[in-house]
Amino acid sequence: MLKQLQGICHILEGGEDLVQATIIKHAGSTPRSVGSKMFARRDGSIIGTIGGGLVEFEMQKLAREIFDSRKARIVTVDLTGEDAATTDQMICGGRLEFLVEYLTASHEGASEFRKLVTSLQEGKKGYLIKSLDTKGDSVSRMEYCLVRRDKLDLGSFPGTESWIPRLTGESALKKSPVTVSLEGNRFFVEPTFLPGTVYLFGAGHVSRPVADLASTVDFRTVVLDDRAEFANKERFPKADQIIVIPSYENLFDGLEIEGDSYLVIVTRGHLHDKTVLEQALRTKAGYIGMIGSKRKQHLLYEELLGKGFTEDDLKRVHNPIGLDIHAETPEEIAVSIVAQLILVRSQIGF
């Protein structure tokens, strides 16, 4: 998602207008979920997918109209009708509602889109709120704002400030973008952050494929190691951030560890693992996983219990790390770890 939006940002900054189609509501069985996006170019080509087949064909046709009118529309695509039933690409049987809008390549428009991309890169929680004033399928007026910590960071909000936490709370509760009706007003609320940051403590042979896979499934990834020859962009091209630390002591100073933080402990040795785990258990991280054998776990846990940690503290740790798929190679171990991260993310959400 982030890389796609970075590409869109470059296109806008290069002076090319686009049409964006976003799924804002769905019912029944549908090919993509709320928040999925497709971008159409004037030459008819598209970037991203909202389900393929009939859905994208309809959006491509509509995009030509939007390029001419420059006015947003809300449209519904019915996947239960005869047209959907007769195509071999659409057998879902649901309904999708789209917000289709014109993205201008003006300096202001490109700058605003860049700020949204930056919000994703930084990993700080934020929400894009769009106020939709509609008449039929036309959007007569649309205002939007970027909100961080329930305060405006971009744009203007057409309502009372007390509505903002109610709107962002709906999105956080449902773990997805949402359409909300509030006192006669309709809003579409999208999170502008990746759902979860994976902190990889150690930049060795297991961390590399974990970073690659985690990035592929929309985790933000941060790699930390005290060896610059290991923690670098050449070894971790997909990592969002690489931090060369002076040591594993005081490791969490300056890191924003919250409930959607995933701590993966894969350092090069038992002593470093113990140092990291002892600090990790004092955080509010939603996931703590540590690589190692049962014998290593037993010895380490005995030391931590002697330092005042409880059995409940230690139950927070996924050790051995990852789902049990009988993984052996670093790549297989990475699959088991990232699969477990996906599972936990689905349970704790944003």
In this predicted model, what pLDDT tens digit does every residue of 48-88 receive, in sequence order? 988 878 888 889 999 999 999 999 999 988 876 544 444 44
Same domain as 133, residue 20:
yes
User: What Rg, from alpha-carbon coordinates, does the chain have?
Assistant: 23
- Output the pLDDT for position 292: 84
For range 96-117, the mean pLDDT: 83
- Output the pLDDT for position 81: 57
Same domain as 127, residue 30:
yes
Same domain as 143, residue 39:
yes
Domain termination site, one of 149, 174, 191:
191
CATH code of residue 300: 3.40.50.720
Domain range enclosing 330: 197-348
Same domain as 156, residue 51:
yes
Same domain as 202, residue 152:
no
- Output the pLDDT for position 31: 64
- Output the pLDDT for position 83: 45
Inform me whether the pLDDT recorded for 304 exceeds 90: yes
Same domain as 78, residue 161:
yes
Inform me whether the pLDDT recorded for 176 exceeds 90: no
- Output the pLDDT for position 29: 65
- Output the pLDDT for position 91: 46
For range 193-220, the mean pLDDT: 92
Same domain as 144, residue 7:
yes
Please give the Cα distance from 36 to 24 (Å, whole number): 8
Residue 131 and residue 184 in contact, taking contact as beta carbons nearer than 8 Å: no
Same domain as 220, residue 161:
no
Same domain as 184, residue 202:
no
In the block, residue with structure tokens 């350092």: 267
**Average pLDDT, rounded, for the chain:** 87
In terms of pTM, does the model score above 0.75?
no
Same domain as 249, residue 165:
no
Inform me whether the pLDDT recorded for 229 exceeds 80: yes
Which tokens belong to 294?
């049962």
For range 10-15, the mean pLDDT: 91
Which tokens belong to 152?
């405006």
Q: CB pairs under 8 A, 24+ apart, for 314-320?
A: 314/281, 316/281, 316/288, 317/277, 317/281, 317/288, 317/289, 317/290, 318/287, 318/288, 318/289, 318/290, 319/289, 319/290, 319/291, 319/292, 320/291, 320/292, 320/293, 320/294
For range 109-130, the mean pLDDT: 78
Same domain as 261, residue 171:
no
Same domain as 40, residue 12:
yes
Inform me whether the pLDDT recorded for 317 exceeds 90: yes
Domain termination site, one of 166, 191, 216:
191
More confident residue, 139 or 288: 288
How many structural domains does the chain have? 2
For range 266-290, the mean pLDDT: 95
- Output the pLDDT for position 89: 47
Query: Lowest-pLDDT range, 39-43, 227-231, 289-293?
Result: 289-293
